[in-house]
Amino acid sequence: MHTRTLGTGQHQLRVSAIGLGCMGLSYAYGPAVEKAQGVALIRAAYEKGVTFFDTAESYGPFANEELVGEALAPIRDRVVIATKFGFRGGKPPEGMDSRPENIRAVADASLKRLRTDRIDLFYQHRVDPNVPIEEVASTVKDLIRAGKVKHFGLSEAGVGTLRRAHAVQPVTALQSEYSLWWREPEKDLLPTLEELGIGFVPFSPLGRGFLTGAISQSTAFDPKDFRASLPRFAPDAMKANQSLVDQLTRVAKQRNATPAQIALAWLLAQKPWIAPIPGTTKLHRLEENLAAASVSLSPSDLASIESALAGVAVQGERYPPHLQQQVGR
C-alpha cells in the first residue's frame, strides 16, 4: 500500500494511506472479540500493508490498548501507533480530564499497555472546556521533549482551538468524522488544515458501517452497540438515508467495486494528506477496505458521485445532544 504524510517539516508522520481503527475490536459496537481473533486481525492488517493503527485508553477502557500492544509488539518499529487521552479515568461517561498531571499519567500508563517506549501520535480525545488548550499543547510538548511522544494530535476540535494549540506545539493530525454522509469538515476545517499543514484522519469513513450497504432500517443492534443511541441510526432516519447507499451502490457497480471501496476511494481523492481509519472485526471486510487504496477515481468519477448524491439530504444528527456538545469546540 502507498503511504501518505500527515503534518509538515519536522512534524511529518508517514502512514499507510488507509489505517486501521481498532476501537470496535474491544468497545462500542457490541461484545469485544476474543483476544486471539483481535491479535490475528491486527497482524493481518499489517501483512496487507497497514502501518497506521488507532486506539485510545478509553476503548474498553484500557483493553484495546492492551490488545494493540500485544498484536504489534513483534513489529513495533515498523508501525505507527496513535492513542488518546482526555477522559476521567479513561471513562467517557465520567467527563473530561485534560489536566497536565492526567495527560502525563495517561502517557505513562499507555506506554506500558502498548508495550512501547514512545507514542507515535498522541491525541487529545475531546477538547476539555476546563483546561486551556495552550496548557494541553504545552504538556504534550514536554512529553515530546522527553521522548515519550513523537507527534501531537487533536480529535473533534474546532478551528479556533486547532489554531491556538498549533501555535504552542505544531499539530501533526486532526481526527474527526468525515465521510460521504458527514461532510461538515469541508466548510471550515479542511481549508484550515491545508493552511496550517496539518493532516486529517477521518474516523467512521464508512458512516459507522451504513455506507457499506450492510445496515438497513430492519437492523437490530446489540444492546452494547453504540449506534443504537445515535439519532442517525433510528429506523426512520435509516429508511430516509437508504437513498444515499442506493446511489453509492449504483456508482460502485459501474466501477466494479463495492460501496465501501468507493466511499474510501472518494475520501482518499479529496486531499493527499487524508488517511482514513476504517475499523472492522472481520478479515473479509478488512481486505475489502484495503483494496480501496487501489481504486483510482478520475475527475469525471468524482463529478458523477457528486451529481448522484447532490439530491440526497442525510437525516438524523451524528450524536445525541449530550455527546454533540463535546465536538467542534
| Catalytic, out of 59, 123, 178, 319 | 59
* Residue 59 is among the residues annotated as catalytic for this protein: yes
Contact 161, 127 (CB under 8 A): yes
What is the structure's pLDDT at 311? 85
What is the structure's pLDDT at 81? 99
Give how far Cα 72 sits from Cα of 31, 53, 64, 131, Å.
22, 9, 12, 33
Q: Pick out the chain residues at pLDDT < 50.
A: none
**pTM to 2 decimals?**
0.98
3-state secondary structure 8-74: CHHHCEEEECCCEECHHHCCCECCCCCHHHHHHHHHHHHHCCCCEEECCCCCCCCHHHHHHHHHHHH
Beta strands in 146-265 (DSSP E): 152-155, 171-177, 199-203
pLDDT (tens digit per residue) in 199-213: 999 999 999 999 999
What is the structure's pLDDT at 324? 95
Please, what is the end-to-end C-alpha distance for the chain in angstroms? 34
Q: What is the DSSP string of 251-312?
A: HHHHTTS-HHHHHHHHHHHH-TTB------S-HHHHHHHHHGGG-PPPHHHHHHHHHHHTT-
